[in-house]
Structure 1
Amino acid sequence: MIIFGSPRRYLQGPGAIARLGEEIARIGKTAVLIADAHVLGLVSAPAAESCRTAGVTLSTITFGGEITHAEVERMASLCTRTPSEVVIAAGGGKTIDAAKFLSGKIGAKLATIPTVASNDSPTSHIIVVYDEHHKLVGVERLKANPDLVLVDTAIIAKAPAILLSAGIGDAIVKRFEVEQCVGVQGSNAFGGRSPQTALALARACYDTVRADSVAALAAVERGEPDQALERLVEASVLMSGLAFESGGLSVCHAMTRGLSAVPGPASALHGHQVAYGLLVQLVLEGRDAAFVEDIRGFFTEVELPLSLADLGFNGGPAEIATIAELTAQAPHMKHFARPVSAQDLVAAIEAVEAMASPTKDAAE
């Protein structure tokens, strides 16, 4: 059967954080705000004022910076001192995933406030867990998606452009992954088949990303939200999140298993990792040269990686073999039109690297 999941409520716009208190009051009277030290400086004052006005008691915990089992245990122990009905996650993907894990552990409801649009973690029930060295160690799942997603685009407009570029990368791949998953009748993140709604969202996400990314990046450079940024943020946070969870993933996200295991790419932003994965997937799909060049041209416009070197890679064949072997073992690889071996992946990576070489030669 088909299954579609989504957050309970989604709000987006400049100044949206002023609505936080009244929105939290719908689901609880006590809340704990989880954010790193930098983000607390951005949101703690308006969040506290909004919650005070709405009669919500708010406490704060400073996130340590890496989503590990130990960090979640530390925050959970702090929550025993001041029990909260709602966990509010403010920040990027790591903070949000850590707060998701925490909310499930203490049995609280969850609200997310992304301060960057670098990925679609704010809408999903998926939690990616790492170790202290940023190596992916597992994936956890909440029982449900967040109760509230609140996106203040005035805050996002002031974040570094490279983070929005990563969000573009994470969003653009969803069309191609969902199409593959639907094509093989694979399972989505809820264990069901992909509804046509998810496929439609993935394609609308792709169209929006292609139409609005350049202008949205310009808005971020100015530090002022505009309609292009509003549309792109909706695509990269909401459309992308709904599409991947209910539609399914494929090669692009499987590549994160391999890329996160080698020096250089392991430190790259998630959206840049999966964007490189799209180039590999397009080779595996046998897309024609004109289509691939169109995608590569767009990647150049929005500063997405065209090569492993763009992800910080300086290894050789042995490291490429490691990337391929770990990627081939990822569960998402079964969502592809044909079986793909580690050798197939090595060949596809080599093809992507060969395409990038003339570009680099010309630049030099």
Structure 2
Amino acid sequence: MSASAVPVRTVISPGRYVQGKGAIARLGEFTAPLGSTPIIVADDVVWGIVEEQVTASFEAAGLAVVRESFGTYATKTEVERLVAAIEAAGADVAVGIGGGSTIDAVKAAGHLAGTRWVSAPTVASTDAPTSALSVIYTEEGAFEEYRFFPHNPDLVLVDTQLVANAPVKFLVAGVGDALATWLEARATRRAHATTMAGGLQTETAVALAKLSWDLIWENALPAIAAVEDDLVTPAVEKLVEANTLLSGLGFESGGLAAAHAIHNGLTAAPQTHGLTHGQKVNIGSLTQLVLEGAPAEEIRDFIVFTTKVGLPNTLTEIGLKTTDLEDLQRVAEASVVEGETIHNMPFPVTAADVVDALRSIEGYSRQVRAEAGLPEPIFYTAH
């Protein structure tokens, strides 16, 4: 057996994680030890929000402010454009400020350009900021590939006031992404499968995944209520940490399974375009529970909770119908391609299994919601 074939347990993480109300005002302070010539990547909307504070913090740290814009998706073309911008600026550290796609593009470009990189998410909508991988999309927004890097971001900085000021739908999306962490980690554990970190699970990663789950169930509803009024409360701080740090460490070193594979499959259906990553992941999580034959009480609780949070748990809410057999087949086939994380499930899963599970959630979710006195689903129309 070669040395590289020896099974090991491993956990990976960013160099430093910083979170708090007003933390963006200290971005320069925490970036300065990483490089002397930074380049900031942010779209026009985000830059309009953070420019004053970031500029002041960089000037106070003796750093020049060089900013590059960002498009919509982390595509191959956008990554290549950012590589050229990094090289033209002679930058030694790339700072991504904004949402998950901005940060994923900066990680990919920073890796190719040989710089260090910083994630400064302005929303808690995904667990992308902490990871050593990027999700690359097509120009149309369909999943194309994962790109893996030899290290995590050197710094992740989250300003919880920026998170609270952002539309609440982004925090809700983060809950959808993070709820999958424990469900996928426990499935990976049962399968003794390899994680995104390139080894077997550690007990640390499993515990962090479970802690993310527990904090979400305890804090999501009060935190969402606070963010609707742009407020930062202890519940908001805990939920942001669960969505970002704990889910990030948990998914990467704990393992992905069916939920994210089904998300990736759903990006192939144009009816779902415009939905957030977390909304589609939540459909994947519920579908995974069905595939597992999870206890009915667990599935019912998940449907009730995610409905209250504001996440979709029916096909209707992601623009699909149970009769869209060709579309569902295409989604299912994309979710089971070779190399997809659905093969970390502790049993074989076929495209036919996925189609049946996806179709089944419509009627059952409607039934559970009706019994709980919750609203009927509203059909989603893609933008």
Task: Check conservation: 2:303, 2:369, Cα contact below 8 A.
Answer: no
Q: Is 1:316 paired with 2:324?
A: yes
Q: Is 1:65 paired with 2:58?
A: no
Task: Check conservation: 1:120, 1:241, Cα contact below 8 A.
Answer: yes
Q: Is 1:237 paired with 2:263?
A: no
Q: Unaligned 5+ residue runs, structure 2?
A: 1-7, 377-383
Residues of 1 paired with 2:264 and 2:178: CA distance? 18
2:37 corresponds to which residue?
30
Please, what TM-score do these two structures have when normalized by structure 2?
Answer: 0.92
Residues of 1 paired with 2:141 and 2:165: CA distance? 26
Alignment partner of 1:344 out of 347, 350, 353: 353
Structure 1 residues 220-269: Cα deviation after superposition (integer angstroms, max 9, x where no partner): 10101110000000000000000011010000001022100012224321
Pairs within 5 Å for 1:288-299: 288-299=295-306
Task: Check conservation: 1:263, 1:313, Cα contact below 8 A.
Answer: no
Alignment partner of 2:275 out of 254, 268, 276: 268
Moved more, 238-247 or 186-195: 186-195
Task: Check conservation: 1:88, 1:111, Cα contact below 8 A.
Answer: yes
Amino acid at match of 1:36: D
Pairs within 5 Å for 1:126-205: 126-205=133-212
Moved more, 272-281 or 326-335: 326-335
Residues of 1 paired with 2:177 and 2:303: CA distance? 15
- What is the deviation of 1:81? 2.6
Q: Is 1:95 paired with 2:97?
A: no
Alignment partner of 1:356 out of 365, 377, 381: 365
CA RMSD of aligned residues (A): 1.5
- What is the deviation of 1:157? 0.3
Moved more, 202-211 or 101-110: 101-110
1:124 corresponds to which residue?
131
1:334 corresponds to which residue?
343
Task: Check conservation: 2:304, 2:369, Cα contact below 8 A.
Answer: no
Distance change in 2, residues 1:102/1:27 (3 Å): same
Moved more, 226-235 or 254-263: 254-263
Moved more, 203-212 or 76-85: 76-85
Residues of 2 paired with 1:79 and 1:335: CA distance? 37
2:10 corresponds to which residue?
3
Amino acid at match of 2:92: E
2:381 corresponds to which residue?
none
Structure 1 residues 181-239: Cα deviation after superposition (integer angstroms, max 9, x where no partner): 11111111121001011110111100000000001101110101110000000000000
- What is the deviation of 1:360? 7.5
Q: Secondary structure at the match of 2:67?
A: strand
Q: Secondary structure at the match of 1:113?
A: strand
- What is the deviation of 1:359? 6.0
Task: Check conservation: 2:300, 2:368, Cα contact below 8 A.
Answer: no
Task: Check conservation: 1:165, 1:304, Cα contact below 8 A.
Answer: yes
Structure 1 residues 293-322: Cα deviation after superposition (integer angstroms, max 9, x where no partner): 111110111011111111122561111111
Alignment partner of 1:206 out of 203, 207, 213: 213
Please, what TM-score do these two structures have when normalized by structure 1?
Answer: 0.97
Amino acid at match of 1:89: G
Q: Is 1:16 paired with 2:23?
A: yes
Q: Secondary structure at the match of 2:355?
A: helix
Residues of 1 paired with 2:84 and 2:178: CA distance? 35
Task: Check conservation: 1:280, 1:348, Cα contact below 8 A.
Answer: yes
Q: Secondary structure at the match of 1:43?
A: helix
Q: Is 1:227 paired with 2:229?
A: no
Residues of 1 paired with 2:79 and 2:230: CA distance? 33
Amino acid at match of 2:61: A
- What is the deviation of 1:75? 2.2
2:62 corresponds to which residue?
55
